[in-house]
Amino acid sequence: MSFSTLGLSDPILKAITETGYTKPTPIQAQAIPLILKGDDVLAAAQTGTGKTAGFTLPLLERMVQHHQPLKSHRGQPKRHIRALILTPTRELAAQIGENVEMYSRYLPYKSTVIFGGVNINRQINVLKSGIDILIATPGRLLDLASQKVVDLSKVETLVLDEADRMLDMGFIHDIKKIVRLVPKQRQTLLFSATFSKEIKALASGFQRNPSLVEVATQNKTADRIAQLVHPVDKSKKRDLLSKLIKEGGWKQVLVFTRTKHGANKLCEYLEQQGINSAAIHGNKSQGARTKALANFKSNKIRVLVATDIAARGIDIDMLPHVVNFELPNVPEDYVHRIGRTGRAGREGEALSLVCVDENDYLRGIERLIGQKINKVVVKGFEVDSSIKAEPINQGGGRGRRGGGGHRNSNEKNRDKSSQEKSGGNSRNRSRKRSRSRNSQGSKDS
C-alpha cells in the first residue's frame, strides 16, 4: 500500500514524498480511511508508529475536500479555527506543530501552536490574525478562551492526542471545559499509545459510535527495541553510565531520571566527566527546554537528561540509545520512555540501570510488558548483596543507599515530580488562571 491509494490529494502527497516516507504505517493505513469517511476514531498504537501523521494527513485532506472560501473582513481574508489538536505537553505540541506545517506546506492553511511558559501576547496577536489549525495545551487554551481571543465555535475536527497522558496529568476537567466550547456536531479523534478503561470512558462521553483502531497489543514494547537491564548499586550508577557512554562511543543518548533534582545533579556529574549534556524538566524555562532539545537533535550535546515530561514529547530520527538511570514509578511510563528509540521501523537500544531498591518497579514493568528483560552485570559493577532495599521516598530518592519511596508498581498516585504537572490539581490551575492574565500566562507541562 502507498499513500496515493489512501485518497490523499496531490499537494499532501507531494509533501509526504519530500519527507522521505514511502508507505503508510499500520496505524496510518487503518485510521486514515476511517477519518476521511468522517468517522469518529479511537486509535491506539505503540509510540513511534506514526500516530501524528495518522490524524494530521486525513484532517488536512478533509479540509481540502470541504474547502471554504475566505471571507473578507475590512479588506482582509478572515480565517477561523477549523481543527483543534489538544496535547498534554509543550514539547509534544511543538512537535505536532512541525508536522502540521510540514504536511500542509502546499496548502493554503495557517496553523499555530500555543502553550504556557512563553509570552501570551504574541500568541494573542497570531490568533487575532486568523488561523485554520490550532495545536494547544489545555491550560493556556482556556486562558485565551477566557480572554475571548480564541473562538472555537466553528471547529470541525477535535483531536485529543496522547489522551491517556492528559488523564494522568489531571487535565480531564480542562478537557471537558474545552469540549463545551466546540460544536456538538464535529468529528472527534482520540489517539493514544495505550488503551484503558478510563480512555474508553472518555471516548464514550465525547465521541459518537467511534471506530476502534488498535494495531498493537496494549503496553507491548516494540520488537525492534533491544532491552537490557544492568543490575548495579545506586552509588555506582553514575560511574557506570559514564563508562557505557565513553567506551560505547555513544554520540546521542536520552537519559531518564525520576526527579528534576536528580536530572540536574546527573547533568553536573556528566559535565565533570567531559560529556556534554543538558537537562530538560518542568522547572526549566520554556526557552531553556527548547534550546536543550534543539542542541540534542543537532548533536551539539551528547546526552539529554530528562524527567517523564519528555517521554512522549521527543521525536528524534534514529535516536540510538535510551537509558533509564532510574526506573519510573509507574510501569506504563517505561513503555513511553523507551519508545523514544526504535522509531519509524528503525532499531534502538534501551538500557535500565537498576539498583536493589527498584526491583519491585522492575517486576511491575515485566508484568506489564509480558516479558522478562535480560539482565547483564557489567564487570567491575557487581552488586553488593549486603545492601538491603530501602523505600524510594517521594521527595526525590536521596536515601542513605537506595533512595527513595517504594509504592506498589501499579499505583496510579504519582508524585508531582514524576507527573511534571503544572499548577497542581485542576482547582489550583483554575485559581492560578484567574491570576495569570499577564504577559506570561499559565504554564502547561
> In sequence order, what are the beta bridge partners of 113?
135
The pairs formed by 368-374 with CB atoms below 8 angstroms and a separation of 24 or more are 368/219, 368/331, 368/332, 368/334, 368/335, 369/219, 369/220, 369/221, 369/331, 369/334, 369/335, 370/217, 370/220, 371/221, 373/227, 373/228, 373/229, 374/227, 374/228, 374/229
pTM: 0.65
CA proximity to 395, closest of 365, 418, 420: 418
Residue-level pLDDT at 285: 80
Give 366's contacts (C-beta < 8 A, 6+ positions apart): 372, 373
Residue-level pLDDT at 48: 66
Domain ranges of the chain: 3-214, 225-414
Same fold, 3-214 and 225-414: yes
CB 387 within 8 A of CB 237: no
Cell 466553528 identifies what position? 154
Give 357's contacts (C-beta < 8 A, 6+ positions apart): 234, 389, 390, 391, 392, 397, 399, 402, 403, 404, 406
Cell 514493568 identifies what position? 365
In angstroms, how far is the first alpha carbon of the chain from the final one? Answer: 38
Phi, psi dihedral angles at 77 (to 5 degrees): -60, 140
In the chain, % of residues over pLDDT 90: 51
Q: What's 3-214's CATH class?
A: alpha beta
Residue type, 382: E
Q: CA–CA distance from 298 to each of 165, 200, 263, 276, 316 (Å)?
A: 28, 39, 21, 13, 10
Q: Cα 174 to the chain's mean position, in Å?
A: 18
CA proximity to 367, closest of 408, 326, 337, 415: 408
Count CA atoms closer than 13 A to 439's CA, side-chain side.
2
Distance CA 68, CA 62 (A): 11
Residue-level pLDDT at 440: 37
* Residues in the chain with pLDDT values less than 70: 46-48, 68-77, 194, 216-223, 309-315, 317, 342-346, 393-445
Angle between helices 172-179 and 426-434 (to 10 degrees): 60
CATH number of 225-414: 3.40.50.300
Residue-level pLDDT at 116: 87
Give 73's contacts (C-beta < 8 A, 6+ positions apart): none
Phi-psi category of residue 168: left, alpha or beta, with phi > 0 → left and psi -120 to 50 → alpha: alpha
